Amino acid sequence: MFRIKRLYLFILQTFLPLFLMTFFICLFIILMQFLWRYVDELVGKGIEMPVLAELFFYAAVSMVPMSLPLALLLASLMTFGNLGERLELLAIKAAGVSLLHVMRPLVIVVALIAIGAFFFQNDILPKAQVKMYTLLYSIRQKSPELDIPEGVFYDQINGYNLYVKEKDRKTGMMRDMMIYDLSGGFDNAMVILADSGKLKLTEDKQYLFLTLYSGESFENLKSQRTAVNSVPYRRETFSTKEILIPFDAGFNRMDDGVMQNQYIGKDMHELRTSIDSMTLRTDSIGNSFGKELINSGYFTLYNNERRDSTYKERSAPPTINIDSIYASASLQQRESMLNRAVSRAETVRQDYEYKSILSDGDQRIIRRHEMEMHKKFTLSFACLIFFFIGAPLGAIIRKGGLGTPVVVSVLLFIFYYIIDNSGYKMARDGRWEVWEGMWLSSAVLLPLGIFLTYKAVNDADVFNKDLYINFIYKLIGKKETRHITMKEVIIDEVDINEAEKRIEQIGILCDRMQKNTGKKRQSYYQYWTQGYDKHLLRSLKTEVDNWVEYAQNTRSQILISKLINYPVLRMLLLYQPCRIRWIGIVMTVLFPISIPIYLVGCWEQHRLRQELQTIQKTNQEVLAIIRETEQKSEIQ
């Protein structure tokens, strides 16, 4: 009988409630951002609550792809942060259970969530987006709720501008009214002044019925003018005037079929079908444009023969000497030729610019379809990546609750959102390939997830600044000087035979190292594929350090001061950046990254060659001091 282990059940009971809580919190926050974005289009139009509730429901469903990765990141970070803060994770590890073993049930759950996210993106999201954008567009088209303010011009009635100085809220009577009627066009504008008036909506909500009292109107009759410089107008004084203004105040829902034919309303099969059909159509149109351009004769004006790979060989018209024709023409004929040539060239240019715009528009639609198809996979992959970032990061920082995890999660998600949005725009504008732009954020965050998981499994201290400082020192190095002091008590003094033997060994290693380094800097290819022999350099460093430690057993102050001249050899990564040859060959191709490293590495290699020369010179000086000291002791 299948039975879930108690540890797995404990981890699931800890993770799932946090995931549900963070998911709905993230969804609510993103939904509020949607409301803030479209609040100007929703307010003031008298939309009924069922319509708004339906819009928010479909908007919430459409926001799931953005809130799901953030919820997984925050939930996994809080789960393992709580386990680490309560020392439960430490107890589990002490029992011999590894972090990957603890993560196993959550990996299965997140994998199921990722699979479900794909089917959600493919089957449910297109329908929800179609409904949401249909409702949103219908609300945009709805006329605003009629509420004429006081003291300002109101222009929400199509073709009319109304000004009301005062308004009685109880009776609805408006006083000191000024109306600009532009429904017949600006040339036939009408201005109406009235002492008072009332405005009400007809029962079918299709018209406004405006009743004006004690006023006059002025109207241009430009369409009826008889003379060039005279524009007749009409002036009318009235005690009561009624005007019927078309005004559709009802909510008319747009048909879903319009949005369903867009890329947002298609599943994988429909997207592939649309991409194939549009690609075939654009290719055929491009081929026809190309054949038309070839047959136009612009490329064969000065050739006696024309050969086309698609068509059979055929002869072109005889060669025409345009310069001689132009030179023999009169001044008037030359001007006519130039004008016709410029006019025809401009026509041809505009024609091909229009064809180019059509082609770019088709390519943009194809890219949008391809981007929508890639988005159905990037969401699932982002869920996995964020889990493998949040879970190990929570185990490392060991902080639970809603404090540190929320701050870290928001910063990581903002970083992800910026990269993802940048890649989206690059793919949308055609600057990058679609797959490059859509998978950019995943490619950037995947190494971070692998790095954090590796560090957490090995219990490495990720946030130890000394670790990174030492790595930088190991990479670029920090030149050190030797600090040697004379010993107060010396038991075994330096033996000249032993000293000569050690100095000779150091000299041999120095010679071998100098042959390996050469007198000049390495070429770009040699640096990345060969570098310097670090094993030989390590042997030389060991011999020099052992010799200096041995030579400190002396009573000669001169020798002590001379030992300080021995440089401290460093084992820098820049001396031999790639020990594997094929990796070095790959690095030679990555010009933007590898060239700065090569320049810094050449400088460090130059400093190493100088240090080798210093060792050789110091060897001779130290050996001379030891021999002189030995001679003085024999004389005494």
pLDDT at 315: 46
pLDDT at 313: 46
Backbone angles phi, psi at 443, to 5 degrees: -65, -30
Q: Which of 545, 532, 542, 522 is nearest to 599 (CA)?
A: 522
Band of pLDDT at residue 115, cut at 50, 70 and 90 = very high
**Distance separating alpha carbons of residues 189 and 439, to the nearest angstrom:** 57
pLDDT above 80: residue 355: no
pLDDT at 42: 73
Backbone angles phi, psi at 244, to 5 degrees: -105, 115
Kind of pairing between the strands at 207-220 and 153-154: unpaired
User: Distance of CA 622 to CAs 231, 512, 625, 636, Å?
Assistant: 113, 21, 5, 21
End-to-end CA distance of the chain: 95
Backbone angles phi, psi at 60, to 5 degrees: -65, -40
**Distance separating alpha carbons of residues 16 and 71, to the nearest angstrom:** 11
Range from 242-256, 259-273, 340-354 carrying the lowest mean pLDDT? 242-256
**Distance separating alpha carbons of residues 180 and 510, to the nearest angstrom:** 97
Range from 190-199, 294-303, 310-319, 321-330 carrying the lowest mean pLDDT? 310-319
Q: Which of 196, 159, 164, 203 is nearest to 181 (CA)?
A: 159
Angle at 108 between CA 103 and CA 112, to 5 degrees: 140
- Which has more confidence, 179 or 141? 179
Range from 287-296, 441-450, 547-556 carrying the lowest mean pLDDT? 287-296
pLDDT at 1: 43
pLDDT at 171: 80
Q: Which of 389, 387, 405 is nearest to 81 (CA)?
A: 405
Q: Which residues contact 275 (CB under 8 A, 6 or more apart)?
A: 366, 369, 370, 373
- Which has more confidence, 72 or 460? 72
Q: pLDDT of 406-462, one tens digit each? A: 788 888 888 888 888 888 888 888 888 888 888 888 888 888 888 888 888 877 666
- Which has more confidence, 75 or 471? 75
Band of pLDDT at residue 249, cut at 50, 70 and 90 = low
Bridge partner list, 508: none
Segment 221-228 mean pLDDT: 54
Q: pLDDT of 255-272, one tens digit each? A: 666 677 777 888 888 888
Backbone angles phi, psi at 73, to 5 degrees: -60, -50
- Which has more confidence, 596 or 475? 596
Q: What share of the chain is helix, strand, coil (3-state, %, to 5)?
A: 65, 10, 25
Helix (H, G, I), strand (E, B) or coil at 451: helix
pLDDT above 60: residue 173: yes
**Distance separating alpha carbons of residues 605 and 609, to the nearest angstrom:** 6
Of all residues in the chain, the percent with pLDDT exceeding 70 is 84
- Which has more confidence, 539 or 33? 539
Mean pLDDT of the chain, nearest integer: 80
Owner of token pair 């404090």: 403
pLDDT at 49: 81
Highest mean pLDDT among 292-306, 391-405, 439-453: 439-453
pLDDT above 80: residue 480: no
**Distance separating alpha carbons of residues 197 and 440, to the nearest angstrom:** 63
pLDDT at 113: 92
pLDDT at 579: 80
- In this structure, what token pair is assigned to residue 34? 């949607």
Highest mean pLDDT among 50-64, 279-293, 585-599: 50-64
pLDDT at 252: 64
DSSP string of 530-583, one letter each residue:
T---HHHHHHHHHHHHHHHHHHTS---HHHHHHHTTS------GGGSS-SSHHH
**Distance separating alpha carbons of residues 329 and 339, to the nearest angstrom:** 14
Band of pLDDT at residue 323, cut at 50, 70 and 90 = confident
Q: Which residues contact 209 (CB under 8 A, 6 or more apart)?
A: 199, 200, 201, 202, 242, 243, 244, 245
**Distance separating alpha carbons of residues 337 and 344, to the nearest angstrom:** 11
Segment 127-133 mean pLDDT: 86
pLDDT at 144: 56
Of all residues in the chain, the percent with pLDDT exceeding 90 is 5
Segment 235-261 mean pLDDT: 75
H/E stretch holding 240: strand 233-246
Sign of the torsion angle spanned by Cα atoms 584, 587, 589, 594: negative
H/E stretch holding 153: strand 153-154
Highest mean pLDDT among 252-261, 330-339, 502-511: 502-511
pLDDT at 111: 92
Band of pLDDT at residue 306, cut at 50, 70 and 90 = very low
Bridge partner list, 216: 193, 237
pLDDT at 2: 45
Segment 197-226 mean pLDDT: 76
